[in-house]
Structure 1
Amino acid sequence: MASSGLINYRKWSLADCPSLTSKIAIVTGGNAGIGREIVAQLLKKDIEKVYVLARSKEHFSEAEMFWRNEHKIENVESRVEFLECTLSDMVTTKRVADGLVGRLERLDILINNAGLPTIPDYTLSPQGIETIWATNVIGTFVLTNILLPTLESTAEKYGDSRIVVTSSSFHMGCQELKLDLLKSPTRVKSPDAIDSCWRYARSKLGNLLFTKELAKRLEKRGSSKVYANCFFPGNIPTGAMDTWKELFGPLGYLMKANFWVLGQSTTDGAATALYLAAAPEVVERNQKGSYFCPVAAEDDTSALAKDKDLAKNVWYWCDGQVTDALGRGWDEQKGDGEGNGEGEEKAPSEEEKGGEIEILQSVEVIGAIPAS
C-alpha cells in the first residue's frame, strides 16, 4: 500500500528543511505540476538560484505568477531562470547541459522531474527511440552525466550534492524489459490504452534502474558525497493525468477525480523531493540508490527494479545509443574535467558484449497502479 501511494507515511515535513542559502539547483519540468511546487519550496527555503529546464515558456510565465501570487515569493525574476529544453532530443539536451557547465561554478541539487505521462500517440524521438523512454530515461541520462563533474566538485568543496529522480509506483506494472523494443517503429501492445500505460511504466522502471546504477558508479569512482535517489511523488491529480480521459473515456475522469479525495497534494509530492534534495538525514543515513514514497519514506520496489545486471545493461544500452548519436566523449566537460572518472565503466563494444544486449523476462503484467 505504501508503494501505491494510497497511504501516506509522513516521515518528514517541509518545516524540517534547512535553509538553502547560497545553493544552486536545476529542476527539469519545473514550470508545471509537481515540478512547479518543488521550485516554490526551494525558493521558500532561500535557495540562491534555480534553473528550470522545460519545453514551454508560456507555462513558465504562468509558474512565475504562481510563485509570486500564491507563495508570495520575492525576486522571482532574478532567482529563477528558464532554459528551453526538449529532453526527448539528445542533441538539444546536450547543448543545454554544455551551456550550464560553462556557466556554473557550483551545482548542489539536480532534480530530474520532467517526464511524459501515458500519452496516447506512439512516436519516436529524433534519434529513433520510443518517445516516453527517450524523454524520461535518455534525457535524464544525458543531462545527469554531463553535469556530474560539477555536482562532484560541489560535493567536495561544500560537503555534499544531491541527484533526485522522479519515478512512480507505476514501475511495478512493467515486469518485462526488452531493450530492442525501445526502438520499435510501431506499438508493441494492444489495445492502445494498455500500450500507453505499459510504455509509461517501462520508463519509470528505467528511472529506477538508472538511479540505482548511478549510485553504484558514484561509489566506484570515489564520489561518496554525491547522493542519488529516486522517489514517487504520490497520486497527485495534475495535468499529466488528463491523458487518462483520452485513453479511458469517462473512467479516466473518475480516476483523476478519485485522487482529489484519496491522493496526495502537490505539496506532499514536493516534500519528498525536498527531503532528498536537502535533508541532512540523507547524509546521516547514507541513503543512496534508494526509492521513496510519500512523504520521505524509504520503500520497496519491484523485483525487476532490483536486478543489478539489468540496471547495468540499461546503462550500457543508453550510453551506446547516446554515443551513436553524439559521438564518443559526449559527456566530457569542456575545460574542467571529464564526464567519466577513473574506473568508470563504458558501454562494451560489440565484440565485448557479444552482440545486442537483450533482457528477457517470462512474465508480463500490466498493473493498474496509479501513476505520478
Structure 2
Amino acid sequence: MLLGLSDYAQVSRNFCPPKPSFLPEDYPSLAGKVVIVTGGNSGVGFEAVKLLGAAGAKVYIFSRNEANTLQAIEDAKKAVKDIDVHFVKVDLSDLTTIKPAAEAFLARESRLDIVIHNAGVMVPPVGSTSAQGYELQLGTNVIGPFALQKLLTPVMYETVEKFSTANESRIVWVTSSGHALFSPKHGVNLDNLNDLTAGEMTNYGQSKAGMVITAAQWAKQNPKEASKIVTISVDPGNLETNLLRHLSLFARKLSPYILFPAINGAYSELFAALSPTITTANNGGYIIPWGRVGRIRGDVAESANNEIGEKFYKYLEDETAKYL
C-alpha cells in the first residue's frame, strides 16, 4: 500500500480544509517586485495574478494563448486598480518556445523575485503527446517548467543578491494531491517515464510527483541559490477550473458539489509564495490547502531526496539541454 493512514487523512481533508489563515490583507507589499505566473490567464493562475498585482507586484503571465491572455489582462485591469501585468508567449508543451520566452522576458526585466509554475494539463486522452513526443502531462507539467526555470534561475539569484531578499525569493512548483493518489511506486517510473499507454490518471499522478521531486532536487542541485531562494511544491486544492475539461461528463456534473472556487487555490499558492513563515528551511516541502505545511507521500518524499530523484533530475537536464 503506497498511501498510509496519514496520507488518506490529508487527502480526505481536501474536501473540507480549514479556512485560509493567510489572506490578501496579510500579504507584504510587493512594490518593485517582479513575478511570473505561468498559465495566469485563467483559473487559479488568473486569481493569483490579481492578488499579486493588488499587492503591488509587476506580474508577467506566461501562456500560449495570446488572445485569451490579452483579454485576461484587460479583465484584471478592470478588477484591480493600477495593476501592472504583461504577457509573454510560451507553450510549455513545446520546448522550442521556452528559450525565446525567457529571452523575451529578460529583454524587458533585469529583476525576478518569484516564479509560480502554475500552468498544467490534466488527464488528456491516452497517447496525447507534447511537440517533442513526451506524454503530454509529463511534457507540460514537468519538463517544460523545468526548462523555463533553468533559464530563469540566474536572474533570480542576481535579484536576491542585489536586493538582499533572501527567503522572499520563491520558486513555487504547483503539484496536486494526485501525486499521492495516482503516481506509481517511488512517484516516477524511471524504467518507462514516457509511457504513452499508461492510464491518464497514472501519468497525471506521475507528473505531479515529478513536480514534488523537482522542487526538492532543485535545492540539492543548486545549493548556492537554494541557500537564499525558497523552492517548494504546493497542492492548490480541489478546484473548479478548466483544468477539469478532459474529465468524464459524470465527473464534471459532480464537481460543483465537491470543488471550491479558483481563488481558494490562489490562497494556497500565495501562502507558498509570500508567507513569512516559509523560508529556505522549508525547501523541498509541500503546501496543502489553503496554506498549511503538509505531508508528501512517503515513497515520493524518499525519492525526492535519494538517487531516484537525482536520476529524474538528470533525465530532465538531458532532455532539455539541446533546447536551452
- 1:58 matched to which residue of 2? 67
Residues in 2 aligned to 1:269 and 1:20: alpha-carbon distance in whole angstroms: 20
Q: Which amino acid aligns with 2:173?
A: V
* 1:215 to 1:95, Cα distance in 2 relative to 1, 3 A: same
1:34-72, Cα deviation, whole Å (9 max, x unpaired): 00000000011111x211111112221332243234x3x
Partner of 1:92: 97
TM-score (norm 1): 0.77
Give 2:245's aligned residue.
242
- The counterpart of 1:27, out of the listed 29, 37, 42, is 37
What is the CA distance between 1:13 and its match in structure 2?
Answer: 2.3
TM-aligned CA distance change 1:18 to 1:253, over 3 Å: same
1:6 and 1:265 mapped to 2: Cα distance? 12
Rg: which structure is higher?
Answer: 1
Sequence identity of aligned pairs in percent? Answer: 28
What is the match of residue 253 of structure 1? 252
Task: Label 1:255 to 1:197 Cα distance change in 2 as closer, same or farther (>3 A).
Answer: farther
11-20 vs 21-30, greater mean Cα deviation: 11-20
Residue 199 (structure 1) aligned with residue 203 (structure 2): yes
| Aligned residue type for 1:244 | L
Q: TM-score, normalising length from structure 2?
A: 0.88
Amino acid at match of 1:321: E
Select the residue among 35, 41, 50 that pairs with 1:40: 50
Partner SS state of residue 282, structure 1: coil
Contact kept, 8 Å, 1:233 with 1:272, in 2: the verdict is: yes
- Say yes or no: does 1:300 pair with 2:295: yes
| 2:172 corresponds to which of 147, 164, 168 | 164
| Cα deviation, residue 105, structure 1 | 1.2
The answer to whether 1:16 aligns with 2:21 is no
Alpha-carbon displacement from aligned partner over 1:179-237 (angstroms, at most 9, x marks no partner): 343334x413xxxxxx111111111011100001112233x235411001110111111
Aligned length: 305
Determine the C-alpha separation between the residues in 2 that align with 1:206 and 1:312.
12
CA contact (8 A) 2:190 2:312 kept: yes
Which residue of the partner structure matches residue 319 of structure 1?
317
CA distance in 2, matches of 1:303, 1:286: 19
Of residues 231, 234, 242, the one that matches 2:234 is: 231
1:114-263 alignment to 2 at 5 Å?
A: 114-158=119-163, 159-160=165-166, 161-172=169-180, 173-176=182-185, 177-184=188-195, 186-188=196-198, 195-218=199-222, 220-221=223-224, 223-245=226-248, 249=249, 251-259=250-258, 263=259
* Structure 2 residue ranges without an equivalent (≥5): 1-8
> Is 2:98 the counterpart of 1:74?
no
Distance 1:216 1:87 in 2: 24
CA distance in 1, matches of 2:147, 2:132: 13
CA offsets 1:4-61 (integer angstroms, 9 cap, x no match): 51232334222211110000011100001000000000011111x2111111122213
Whose relative contact order is higher, 1 or 2, with alpha carbons under 8 Å and at least 6 apart?
A: 1
Contact 1:216 1:289 in 2 (8 A): no
Task: Check conservation: 1:167, 1:207, Cα contact below 8 A.
Answer: yes
Q: Deviations over 1:342-371 (max 9, x none)?
A: xxxxxxxxxxxxxxxxxxxxxxxxxxxxxx
Residue 303 of structure 1 deviates from its aligned partner by 1.9
Mapped contact 1:272–1:293 kept (Cα < 8 A):
yes
Match of 2:16 in 1: 7
Residue 275 (structure 1) shift: 1.8
| CA gap 1:68/1:221 in 2 versus in 1, 3 angstroms | closer
After superposition, the C-alpha distances for 1:118-155 in whole angstroms (9 at most, x for unaligned) are: 11252222222111101110011101111001111111
- For the residues of structure 2 that align with 1:113 and 1:222, how far apart are their CA atoms? 21
- Unaligned residue ranges in structure 1 (runs of 5+): 189-194, 331-372
1:242 Cα deviation from its structure 2 partner: 2.3
Structure 1 runs of 4+ off > 6 angstroms?
Answer: none
Aligned CA distance change for structure 1 residues 74 and 304 (closer, same or farther; 3 Å):
same
Could you tell me how far apart the structure 2 residues matched to 1:313 and 1:255 are? 39
